[in-house]
Structure 1
Amino acid sequence: MLVAVIVTCEVLFWVLVLAGLAVRYLLRRPRLGGRLLVAAPLVDLVLLVATVLDLRGGATATTAHALAAVYLGVSVGFGHSMVRWADVRFAHRFAGGPEPEPRPRSGRAHAAHERRGFGRHLLAYAVGAGLLGVAILVIGDPDRTGALLGMLRLWSVVVAVDGLVSLSYTVRPRPTGVGARR
């Protein structure tokens, strides 16, 4: 059941984002479009409530519960930048906005871009890991929280690898011309 709630929330999040952008640029109703965009993160509250109610009802935590925490963390860490990314492209395509800036592919600009991405990942991790940790402590039963601890361990490794890769570009920036689009 929780997997269906997660999928529904993810779909509803993007439906609200696309509806907000369509209303903002195609119907030229920026206020209403902005309200729809602001409503998108409220979907996360539905997911949080559904997860808490399921666990409070005595459910053993599963990978779905852990993914709910990851989803919430990623939504906090990356949501604003994803919406901004979509907004710039939508404005360019449908409202005569400026062409989106290409992602830097080399040098210090690329290194700074990678650091910002890692910072977003750290924020996502802090939120998601915090939710996982609180759930583990509140439930207080290792037999019921194994999936949460497993996800926390896996995500910790992923964040460490992302940090090493992202920060390596600060130490040794990618030379100009490497990774350029063809």
Structure 2
Amino acid sequence: MIVTLIIVCEIGFWVLLTAGLSVRYLLKKPRAGMALLLCEPLLEIVLLIATALDLKNGADPSWEHGLAALYIGYTVGHGHRTVQWLDGHAAHRLGGAPKPAGPPRYGMARAWHEGKVWLGTLIGAVVATGLLQLAMWYVGDPSRTGSLESWQLTAWRVTGIHGLIALSYAVWPKRPPAGTPVASGAQKEKEITRR
């Protein structure tokens, strides 16, 4: 049941996102579009309540409950950035706005960008760990919560691996190919603050 609900929430996320951006840019109703986009967190609340009720009704904590916590954490950590990125592209393609700038490709500007993306992963791991810990306390039987504990470790393993990858951009910054114009310090700073 929980896995099905996760799939429904993911489909619902994309349906609401598509509907919100369509209403916002195709129908030229920005407030109605924003209202639809703001409904997206309700999906995670529904998933959280369903997971809690499943545990309350005596279900053994399983990988499904752990996956639900990681899904909610990921959405909290990266959902806003995903919506913002898609909104920029929808504004360009449907609303006539200028094409959004992509992430920086080289040097420390790229390292800062990767660090910010990693912070989303860190926030997601904190949220998922907190939800899993609450679930373990709620169940109150350490002999039944081993799978939830393993999901906590999974969240932090993923965060650590992502952190090492992000750090590699700072330790070994990617250099532009020869002949590529290098942005001035002011342009680099503007590029960093835009992200």
TM-score (norm: length of structure 1): 0.93
Q: Equivalents in 1 of 2:135, 2:76: separation in Å?
A: 18
Describe the superposition over 1:122-158 as per-residue Cα deviations: whole angstroms up to 9, x where unpaired.
1111101111111112212233212211111122111
Describe the superposition over 1:57-112 as per-residue Cα deviations: whole angstroms up to 9, x where unpaired.
11111111111101111111111110001100111111111102122221111101
TM-score (norm: length of structure 2): 0.87
Where does residue 49 of structure 1 map in the other structure? Answer: 49
SS at match of 1:41: helix
AA at the equivalent of 2:160: A
Give structure 1 regions of 4+ aligned residues with deviation exceeding 2 angstroms. none
Q: Equivalents in 2 of 1:44, 1:155: separation in Å?
A: 18
Unmatched tracts of structure 2, length 5 or more: 181-195
Q: Equivalents in 2 of 1:177, 1:15: separation in Å?
A: 40
Q: Equivalents in 2 of 1:46, 1:177: separation in Å?
A: 48
Where does residue 130 of structure 1 map in the other structure? Answer: 130
Unmatched tracts of structure 1, length 5 or more: none
Q: Equivalents in 2 of 1:118, 1:14: separation in Å?
A: 23
Q: How many residues align?
A: 179
Identity %: 45
Where does residue 192 of structure 2 map in the other structure? Answer: none
Computed over aligned residues only, the root mean square deviation of the Cα atoms, in angstroms, reads 1.5
Where does residue 96 of structure 1 map in the other structure? Answer: 96
Q: Equivalents in 2 of 1:143, 1:56: separation in Å?
A: 17
Q: Equivalents in 2 of 1:43, 1:155: separation in Å?
A: 21
Would you say the 8 A contact 1:23–1:29 is kept in 2? yes
Q: Equivalents in 2 of 1:3, 1:177: separation in Å?
A: 45
Where does residue 13 of structure 2 map in the other structure? Answer: 13
Structure index of larger Rg: 2
Would you say the 8 A contact 1:73–1:128 is kept in 2? yes
